């Protein structure tokens, strides 16, 4: 028998109550914890799936451990409410979303205790970030032609690799955030809304400067409104370039360079970090440049560098393979 919180009126339907709690939690996460829009949207998707499941199963306001275990089992095996079997990483994220919601509710006194306290997330295989080599980076960033949109695209590719910022951070940049004379970028939209300033190398600064002075004014003339006036990177219609639009640009050049399957939205960021460490950069410097809150997040790149060292050793040393 499912427990129902006694603080609610008898006429309140558990699913209506849960929907209200989810809305309250998301508002708290956005405005009080300052979490990014992407994180909020992930919470929203996960918790909406949980709400559908608990409604279909007649679960009360406070689920039992058996309820939670059954829900996660369905996610892993692709049974409703999941449309397909989810990867361990997605199931682990669902656990984080549930924990965050119910810890919040217990802390705020909406429920007596946290039902997720004994819930364990599935173990995930550790995946290493995939970087491409320096020659491949060079081939990629030099592909755009020197025409109107080509100059924009060259600026995008050079900045992604030259600064290591995320695509979501790049499309959020305004002109005031870029100092071409100093060669730096102020990133205001990082995870947790923590601003950081990162250097911009000569190649990137030159490419962005060419775009800003020669291409951007022409694209801005195509804009039907003033919403994109401060944006650094514009689309072909003069509006602010979106994350999806930027990813399409990167994907197109990756295919032209013969790198298609090996390039993702984070590939140039991964390559930036890996090449910095390969070149002798201190890991804490790389952590600051990437905007990682925890050093352990950055340390995964040292595993990539170690793997590269081992590969070079095995292929180069005359007695490495016995």
Identify whether 213 is a catalytic site residue. no
pLDDT number for residue 147? 94
Residue 104, C-beta contacts closer than 8 angstroms, at least 6 positions apart = 25, 28
Question: According to the model, what pLDDT value does residue 2 have?
Answer: 42
Residue 214 token pair: 């020669």
| Length of the chain measured in residues | 322
Strand 196-199 with 178-179, pairing:
unpaired
Q: pLDDT tens for residues 203-230?
A: 999 999 999 999 999 999 988 766 677 9
Instruction: Determine the Cα–Cα distance for residues 14 and 50; give it in Å rounded to an integer.
Output: 13
What is residue 281's predicted lDDT score, i.e. its pLDDT? 87
Please list the ranges in the chain whose pLDDT falls under 70: 1-14, 121-128, 189-193, 225-227, 304-317, 319-322
What pLDDT, on a 0 to 100 scale, did the predictor assign at position 214?
A: 94
Catalytic residue chosen out of the listed positions 79, 139, 188, 191: 191
| 84 is annotated as an active-site residue | no
45 token code pair = 């998707």
Residue 249 preceded by cis peptide, ω within 30: no
Please tell me the predicted confidence (pLDDT) of residue 322: 59
Using DSSP's 3-state secondary structure scheme, residue 216 falls into helix
pLDDT given for residue 35 in this prediction:
84
> So what's the pLDDT on residue 268?
93
One of 8, 130, 266, 308 is an active-site residue; which one? 266
| pTM for this entry | 0.60
Asked if 153 and 249 count as a contact pair (C-beta separation under 8 A), the reply is: yes
pLDDT given for residue 63 in this prediction: 93
Phi, psi (deg, nearest 5) at residue 187 = -95, 110
270 is catalytic: no
């Amino acid at each position: 028998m499912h427990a129902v919180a006694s603080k609610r009126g008898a006429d309140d339907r558990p699913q209506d109550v849960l929907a209200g709690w989810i809305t309250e939690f998301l508002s708290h996460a956005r405005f009080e914890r300052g979490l990014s829009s992407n994180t909020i949207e992930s919470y929203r998707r996960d918790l909406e799936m949980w709400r559908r499941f608990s409604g279909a199963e007649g679960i009360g306001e406070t689920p039992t451990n058996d309820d939670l275990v059954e829900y996660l089992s369905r996610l892993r095996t692709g049974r409703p409410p999941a449309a397909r079997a989810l990867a361990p990483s997605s199931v682990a994220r669902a656990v984080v979303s549930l924990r965050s919601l119910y810890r919040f509710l217990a802390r705020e006194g909406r429920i007596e205790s946290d039902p997720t306290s004994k819930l364990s997330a599935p173990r995930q295989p550790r995946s290493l970030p995939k970087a491409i080599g320096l020659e491949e980076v060079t081939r990629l960033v030099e592909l755009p032609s020197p025409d109107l949109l080509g100059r924009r695209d060259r600026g995008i590719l050079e900045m992604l690799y030259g600064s290591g910022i995320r695509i979501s951070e790049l499309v959020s940049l305004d002109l005031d955030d870029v100092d071409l004379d100093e060669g730096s970028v102020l990133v205001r939209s990082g995870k947790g809304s923590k601003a950081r300033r990162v250097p911009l190398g000569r190649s990137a600064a030159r490419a962005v400067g060419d775009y800003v002075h020669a291409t951007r004014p022409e694209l801005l003339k195509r804009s039907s409104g003033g919403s994109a006036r401060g944006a650094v990177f514009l689309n072909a219609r003069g509006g602010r370039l979106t994350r999806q639009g930027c990813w399409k640009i990167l994907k197109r050049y990756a295919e032209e360079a013969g790198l298609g399957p090996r390039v993702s939205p984070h590939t140039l960021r991964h390559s930036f970090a890996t090449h910095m460490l390969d070149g002798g950069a201190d890991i804490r410097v790389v952590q600051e440049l990437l905007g990682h809150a925890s050093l352990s997040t950055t340390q995964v790149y040292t595993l990539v560098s170690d793997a590269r060292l081992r590969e070079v050793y095995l292929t180069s040393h005359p007695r490495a393979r016995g």
